[in-house]
Every structure is written in structure tokens, then in C-alpha cells.
Structure 1
Amino acid sequence: MDSIKQEQATRQSFERLIAVEPQLEGCVQLASIAALPARTLLHAGPRLRRGEVPAPILNTAAAAAVFEGWADTREEALAAIVAGDMALEPAQDYGVVTPLAFVVSPSMWLLRVGDARGAAAARYTPINDGPPPGALRFGAKHPEQGARLALLSKVGPALARDLGAPVALLAVLRAGLEGGDDLHGRVSAANQAFYDVLTPRLTGEGRAYLDLANQFVLNVIMAACAVMIGGGGGVGGSNMVVAAGGNGVDFGWKLAGDPEAWHTMPAAAPVGPRFPAAGDSVFLPAIGDSAVIDACGFGAAALRYAPEMMEALRGHGADVYFTAAASAPFLGAHPAFPVDLHVGLGIDRASPARGVMLAALDAAGEKGLIGRGVSPWPTVA
């Protein structure tokens, strides 16, 4: 395909992206929306190579296997995973986006985000697993993780019962940007806007959990961005990125012209400040499907809207992340956001996003969250 036709195809994908109207539509169990092979768990990013599963994913996968009743102990679960008796598959291949090292199992409850226009396929994401130490997404083993999964198994049905009418999400994203969020590293304003919509609807476990998980909206933003960029898929020859994520070893992306195929390169670790408890721990290379947020146009490209994040990251990496130039590689503006915000959405593979805003995890799987920063988007050959 010549360059002009390719540019036209990529532009068509972008027009589809900005036509999507993401909305939270419900809460379901993974087993009800995906036909998984037996004893299969879903992880972030592209397919893991046998024998190269990072420790944080092993920790979370073991906790998920025990939760499912596939093993009685963490040690038994780890042995089965290493032996290949349990399968690990890319979540995005099943329409699911999962954060950091969080591994999704069949019984887990997922939030469904669809397109109000019905043109783009829905995406699913696990309910945010709340703060440490019980949270699994940070990849450190902890005895409270089983209790957190048990709590989520009660929260899911409560949300399914109470959510009611769809919740429009473009207004939530806009409220976040206008309130000091980049929509990835900081989501406080978006979470408050989301909270204001949901709290009148929720009761019991669902209402109480919304108070506990103060980043509840982050997973919803992931799914909203996945629906938006995914809406551009299926346009022959298009170079627009429609999926992205890291697995702690490789970083991968899919293109609109062939939305089933992963393209991969070695993942880079986040560049940013270390937390005091990090010690000499090593940052794990990029992990998490939340890279879809940055592929959409938020996160690292929107740090200029988040003064708190800029202050934390200043002196780490390039200052371009703090200026409008961070949005320059993106394909165009979105009608839902004011012109003066200068938000650019949609990324062409030939001009990839400069980076992905990420939490930094301990590569050894011992300390969990040890920092944060921007992981450089791998240079595309």
C-alpha cells in the first residue's frame, strides 16, 4: 500500500476513534464473556515466553489459582504454573485490559465498558483491587490478597445489581483533565467525578468498596481508552495503534490494519523517582495494559495537566512530557474536549507516543510498588 492510501486508512481509524462514546455498562464474570481453555489466567501485555514469567506475575497468578480452587497453596500453584499445567494468556486477546501485574481468572468480576453508539466492541477490566497490602496489581505476595479477592467476589454482584443505566465516560475524562489529572498516574479528579455519579446508585458492598478503592476509576479509564482506540480497528492498511501493553519482559502493540497481531519489542523500565522503601530494588520493565491510556493520548502525553505529577517527575527524563509537544505525535483533537486543552488522540505506529506513565514494580516481586515514572515507548523499526 502506498503512503497516501496508508495515511487515508490511518485517518479513517482516527475518525472512528473520536466517534466512540465510551460508557460503563455493567459488571460480569470473566467466564460469562470469554471461552477460556481450562485453567487459564489472563495477564497484561503480549504473550509471555515460556520460562520468562516475571516474579510479580507469578505471585499474582498463584494467588488467582488458589482463589479459583485450582491449588491449595501458593507453592502448589507456582509449581503448576512453572510446569505449564496452568496457562497464561494475553488479556487483550480476550477483550480484557488488566493493570500492572494483576492476573484475571474465570470467576473474577469485570466492569464492562461499551460504545453508546454500538459501533465499537466492548472491553472489560477487573474491578480495581484497592490499596496495598491486599492489592494484587503491585505483584508482591501478601497473606491479605486472598481476602481481597474474596471481597471483590462480593463487590462484583453488588455492582452488577446497582449500576443501572450506563455511565457516560467522556465527561469523566474531561473532568479529570480539568481537575489536575493526566488520567493515568493521577486520577483523583476523575475519580471524584465518577464517585459523584455512582454513589447515589450504590448500596452495601458496592458503596463501601468505592470508598476503599480511591483509584476505582483507573480501571474504568483503561477500558474506556481501549474501547476508543479499538474502535479504529479493522481498517485495512491503517497504522493506528489499537492495543498496547507490557508484560514485564516485552512491550507490545496491535495495529488497526491487523488488530489480532501483536508487534513486540523489549520493554523499558519506567524512568522516575524511587520511593523511600525501594532500597536497591530493581524496577521491572514496563508492565500493564494501562498503556492503552497513553496510546489513546492521555497519561505521559497529558502530564502538563497534572501539576502534582510534573513536580514529582521533574528531573527524571525529558521535559517534553511537560509541554504541548507531548501531544504532537497524536493524530488529532477530540470534539469532547475543549480546544484550549490541546488534547491529541490516536497514535500512528510511524510516529509513536514518546512514553507510558507507569507505576514501577519491584522486579523481584518482594516489595511491590517502589516508584513511578515514564517508560519510553520502544523505538519502532
Structure 2
Amino acid sequence: MMPCMDLLSGEPSVVTVGAGMFAESLAGQAVPVAPVDFRPPLGGAAAEDDLVRVLADPRRAAADATAVGRILAVRPKLVDVRPAGAALGLEPGGFLHAGPPLTWDRASGPMRGALMGAMVLEGLADTPEAAERILARGGARFEPCHHRSAVGPMAGVVSPSMWMFEIADEASGRRTWCSLNEGLGAVLRYGAYGPEVIDRLRWMSAVLGPLLQAALRAHGPVDLGAVIAQMLHMGDECHNRNRSGTLMLLRELIPDLIGSGAPATDAAEVARFIGGNDHFFLNLAMPAAKLMLDAGRDVPGSGLVVAMARNGTDFGIQTAGTGDQWFTAPANTPEGLFLGSYGPQDANPDIGDSAITETCGLGGFAMATAPAIVRFVGGDVAFALETSRRMYEITLAENPAFQLPILDFRGTATGIDVTRVVRTGILPQINTGMAGREAGVGQVGAGLVTPPEGCFTAALRALAAAAPPLVG
């Protein structure tokens, strides 16, 4: 050990941990400083024992490798467009919703608004007010989209007559589904239920869905993995920016739309609707991501996150090693940019299944490749770059199929690991739309949000409980 007096015989070199002001003061005096970005584990001392048990689990390394390997092997393709009743076995009076399980008494404004609108759409109520009374007395059944291999943006409400994209992995035969995208503003998924919302949904079921089905069946499957890979090279991050993906899809299908035999006015209206809706591809990126992540499920010993979802009240995650169990905590409220005169007081807590894109390494994890996204959700270009770099610290792998040109074509950070989130204190970054707090309002803005840390500490606790006993 160096004698204390020897410390004064040469130039000092200082390592600081967490003492920002001290480091800045020394640097201002030309003293070399090596700051260490240390964060205590999430959950404090209570989580330390759980971390020890999970990290010591002899199954962990192989289990994580197996789960992430399965995810990276999936090749998602759009194979069909069908009504939810036929695709998912959804019966009259049954609805799906975004996020973990929810009861009416705990449902947020936008979730209530979307369910009320869906009741009117299905002819189960004449007015939203009548629908609200029926729902309040338990007159409808609803469950998470995830429980039927589906995902839904924002409120994510799916009713039997809505048409669904069907995504498949040829090698495994696994399938996932998502509804068709309505656009932005006053739409059902943001909790709006006015006459124009219902009319648009009825047109989507009567015209858009059947024409897309005819065009796709004539065209054949669309390789969504290839489209997503190209999107990342064209400035999209596949969550809040999907412009190039939407146009690439339209380019693929428009000859078959025109040749479908449908009235020319209907084909033109469908092409105009898709081309004017930059978010249309979001509802394909989401089920493609879910298809990949579902392949990583049911691997005992793995702490890989296979779902992150929000219902407007709770944020929930699921992991590869804990089956279908949800780990939930109160959802945070996004911070960002608002439309018109709306402000923070109008925003509902985080909502939607669209965080499946981040779970797969897209969206907020890929913001570096989509610098224009910050003009929609807030932040700046430097923040977008730093965010994508930081996400590698909490993931198990990189996806060589999804590359970020600005990071020298590095693969996207893939496979969120519960132990890494808890150990580093770094929470997954999500960029998202914001729904109005009150039912019927619709979209009020877009912004940035992270999951509550309680989801990850709860998942870690369950993984620790399932780990073999420590030896010695």
C-alpha cells in the first residue's frame, strides 16, 4: 500500500463515484478525474439477495442464449387479413384490450372510451352512454390482447367485426395478430368514440379489410423482417415513425389492389387512406415483434423480457422464465410534446401494447436511426443517439438483421435482461403517443416514458424463487 506521504509526491489521479460536483471541481483545477457512473441496484438491499440467487442459477447462461437465439431465428411474414371473430375466435360480447389484465372499475378514461365505442360498433349499445352503463354492470367480457397472441396499440381494443393482420413464422407455424391502423387524432385506440370514429371503423370492416385480404392473397406473403430492416436504413424506428414502411407496403400491394376486381373508387380510397396514414405500418411492426418475442417464451431460468405492455393504469412485463405471469406496477405518464392547447394535465398514464417494439429492440431502442423522431416525441438528436447506445447495457444480444447505419451498422439492442436492468438501474426507453385522460378526447400528444422499476424487481423476485437453492 502506498504511504500517505507518497500521495503528494506526484500528480494526483482521482476516481469519483457519484460525486458530480466534486469531479467538476477537480476538473476545473486541471486534476485528472475518472468518473464512474455507478448506480445502486433497483430495489435497494431487498433486491440484492434476489440478484445473487438469479445470477448464481446454473441454468441462466444457457437459458438466456436459448431464448434470445429463438427470437433471432424468427422470420415474420404478413400472410392474411381476417376478421377478429374468425382469426381469434372472438365471440359477440367479447373484447380484447392492451396491457396486463384489467377490470372496468380500474380502467382509465381512454380505455373506457375505446370499450364504449367498440360496444356501439358491434351493435351492443345504441350510444356510448348506454355502453358505459352496460360495461359498468359487467355486461361484456374483455381480456388482454396478449392472451390471444395479439397486440393492440394504445387502448388496443379489438371487437369481433374488426379486421386483423395475421403474421406467421413459416418454420415454427406460430402466428400473431393486430388490428388495422385507424390513423391519428380522434380514433378509437386513443379513446375517442364520436360518430366519425364509428363510421371510419365500419368502412374499415366493409372496404379496407376485404380489399387488403384480396390483394394480399393475390400477392402472396410479405416479408416484414426485410421491410423492417430497410425501414431502419430509411429513418424509421418502427414505433412512432413508420413512414417508409407504410409506403413500402403500399408499393407491394397496390398493383393487386387495383387488380382485385373491386370498384375503382374503393381501391383508390384504400390507397389514399394507407398512403395518408404514416402510422399504418405500426400495426404490422407490432405483431412482427410479438411473433419474434413469443418464440423466446417458456425457457426456465431465463430473465429475458418477452413482453412489455400498458393498459393505461398498470405497466406489465412477462419473462421467458416465468410463463404467462404478469409483473405490474402503476404506469408512468409520458413527457413530451402536446397537440394544440393540450398540456401535461390532459395526458393519461402510459397505455398500449406498442412497447412490444422496444421489447424487440425497435422504437425507443432504435431512435439513433430516426433522428427526426425527436421532433414528434421530444428530446434532441444527441439524446436519440445516446439512448440507443445505452440500451445495449441492458440487453443480451444484437440483431444482425436490424442494423443502425449511424452506429456503423451495429445490430439493434435485443433481449432485455431483468438482471441487467436491476443491476444498472437503466430502464428501457419507450417513445409513445399520449392519450387524453378523459374518455372521448383522443390523442393529445406524443412523448417519452420508461417502465416503473417495480415491474423488474417483482420479476427478479419470481426468478429468484424459481432458481435452485444456493450451494455452500
TM-score normalised to structure 1 length: 0.93
Instruction: Give the aligned partner of residue 282 of structure 2.
Output: 218
Tell me if the contact between 1:301 and 1:321 (Cα under 8 Å) persists in the aligned partners: no
1:341 aligns with 2:409: yes
Q: CA deviation at 1:317?
A: 12
Give the 3-state SS of the residue equivalent to 2:119 in structure 1: helix
Give the 3-state SS of the residue equivalent to 1:112 in structure 2: strand
Q: CA deviation at 1:316?
A: 12
- Structure 2 residue identity aligned to 1:168: D
Instruction: Give the aligned partner of residue 199 of structure 2.
Output: 147
Tell me, in whole angstroms, the C-alpha distance in 2 between the residues paired with 1:74 and 1:66: 7
1:193 aligns with 2:248: yes
Give the 3-state SS of the residue equivalent to 1:137 in structure 2: helix
Q: CA deviation at 1:38?
A: 5.2
Pick aligned residue for 2:233 from 178, 182, 203: 178
Q: CA deviation at 1:36?
A: 4.0
Q: CA deviation at 1:85?
A: 0.9
Choose 290-299 or 257-266, whichever is displaced more.
257-266
Tell me, in whole angstroms, the C-alpha distance in 2 between the residues paired with 1:301 and 1:280: 24
Instruction: Give the aligned partner of residue 183 of structure 2.
Output: 130
1:297 aligns with 2:365: no
Give the 3-state SS of the residue equivalent to 1:246 in structure 2: strand
Instruction: Give the aligned partner of residue 89 of structure 1.
Output: 143
Pick aligned residue for 1:254 from 318, 322, 337: 318
Q: CA deviation at 1:80?
A: 0.6
Choose 181-190 or 364-373, whichever is displaced more.
364-373
Deviation per CA, 1:10-31: give whole Å up to 9, x if none. 2210000000000101011111
Instruction: Give the aligned partner of residue 329 of structure 1.
Output: 394
Give the 3-state SS of the residue equivalent to 2:290 in structure 1: helix
Instruction: Give the aligned partner of residue 365 of structure 1.
Output: 439
Deviation per CA, 1:313-358: give whole Å up to 9, x if none. 2269977754422333222122323483321112122234522211
Q: CA deviation at 1:221?
A: 0.2
Instruction: Describe the shift of the 1:280–1:299 C-alpha distance in structure 2 as closer, same or farther (beyond 3 A).
Output: closer
Tell me if the contact between 1:304 and 1:310 (Cα under 8 Å) persists in the aligned partners: no
Pick aligned residue for 2:215 from 162, 170, 173: 162
Instruction: Give the aligned partner of residue 202 of structure 1.
Output: 257
Superposition RMSD in Å: 2.2
Choose 53-62 or 17-26, whichever is displaced more.
53-62
1:100 aligns with 2:169: no
Tell me, in whole angstroms, the C-alpha distance in 1 between the residues paired with 2:447 and 2:60: 33
Greater share of helix residues, 1 or 2? 2
Choose 288-297 or 232-241, whichever is displaced more.
232-241
Deviation per CA, 1:222-253: give whole Å up to 9, x if none. 01000011111122222212222100000111
Tell me, in whole angstroms, the C-alpha distance in 1 between the residues paired with 2:311 and 2:232: 28
Give the 3-state SS of the residue equivalent to 2:198 in structure 1: helix
Tell me, in whole angstroms, the C-alpha distance in 2 between the residues paired with 1:199 and 1:367: 34
- Structure 2 residue identity aligned to 1:198: L
Pick aligned residue for 1:30 from 84, 88, 91: 84
Tell me, in whole angstroms, the C-alpha distance in 1 between the residues paired with 2:272 and 2:97: 28
Deviation per CA, 1:144-171: give whole Å up to 9, x if none. 0110111111211221122021100112
Instruction: Describe the shift of the 1:316–1:196 C-alpha distance in structure 2 as closer, same or farther (beyond 3 A).
Output: closer
Tell me if the contact between 2:87 and 2:164 (Cα under 8 Å) persists in the aligned partners: no
1:121 aligns with 2:196: no
Tell me, in whole angstroms, the C-alpha distance in 2 between the residues paired with 1:314 and 1:214: 21
- Structure 2 residue identity aligned to 1:184: H
**Percent identity among equivalent residues?**
31
Instruction: Give the aligned partner of residue 52 of structure 1.
Output: 106
Tell me, in whole angstroms, the C-alpha distance in 1 between the residues paired with 2:58 and 2:232: 34
Tell me, in whole angstroms, the C-alpha distance in 1 between the residues paired with 2:419 and 2:160: 37
Tell me if the contact between 1:302 and 1:326 (Cα under 8 Å) persists in the aligned partners: no
Tell me if the contact between 2:250 and 2:271 (Cα under 8 Å) persists in the aligned partners: no
Give the 3-state SS of the residue equivalent to 1:28 in structure 2: strand
Instruction: Give the aligned partner of residue 276 of structure 1.
Output: 340
Deviation per CA, 1:69-99: give whole Å up to 9, x if none. 1112211111111111112211110111001
Tell me if the contact between 1:130 and 1:215 (Cα under 8 Å) persists in the aligned partners: yes
Deviation per CA, 1:272-314: give whole Å up to 9, x if none. 2223331463321111110100111111111111111235522
Instruction: Describe the shift of the 1:293–1:198 C-alpha distance in structure 2 as closer, same or farther (beyond 3 A).
Output: same
- Structure 2 residue identity aligned to 1:12: T
Segments of 5+ residues of structure 2 without an aligned counterpart are 1-53, 259-265, 422-426, 458-472
Instruction: Give the aligned partner of residue 14 of structure 1.
Output: 68
TM-score normalised to structure 2 length: 0.75
Give the 3-state SS of the residue equivalent to 1:202 in structure 2: helix
Tell me if the contact between 2:215 and 2:256 (Cα under 8 Å) persists in the aligned partners: yes
Aligned residues: 379
- Structure 1 residue identity aligned to 2:82: V
Larger radius of gyration: 2
Q: CA deviation at 1:120?
A: 5.9
Q: CA deviation at 1:113?
A: 0.7
- Structure 1 residue identity aligned to 2:80: G
- Structure 1 residue identity aligned to 2:446: R
1:308 aligns with 2:360: no
Instruction: Describe the shift of the 1:302–1:319 C-alpha distance in structure 2 as closer, same or farther (beyond 3 A).
Output: closer
Instruction: Give the aligned partner of residue 37 of structure 2.
Output: none
Choose 245-254 or 356-365, whichever is displaced more.
356-365
1:377 aligns with 2:451: yes
Instruction: Describe the shift of the 1:335–1:315 C-alpha distance in structure 2 as closer, same or farther (beyond 3 A).
Output: closer
Give the 3-state SS of the residue equivalent to 1:220 in structure 2: helix
Instruction: Describe the shift of the 1:246–1:86 C-alpha distance in structure 2 as closer, same or farther (beyond 3 A).
Output: same
Instruction: Describe the shift of the 1:8–1:200 C-alpha distance in structure 2 as closer, same or farther (beyond 3 A).
Output: same
Deviation per CA, 1:29-56: give whole Å up to 9, x if none. 1111333465121110001134111111
Tell me, in whole angstroms, the C-alpha distance in 2 between the residues paired with 1:201 and 1:236: 45
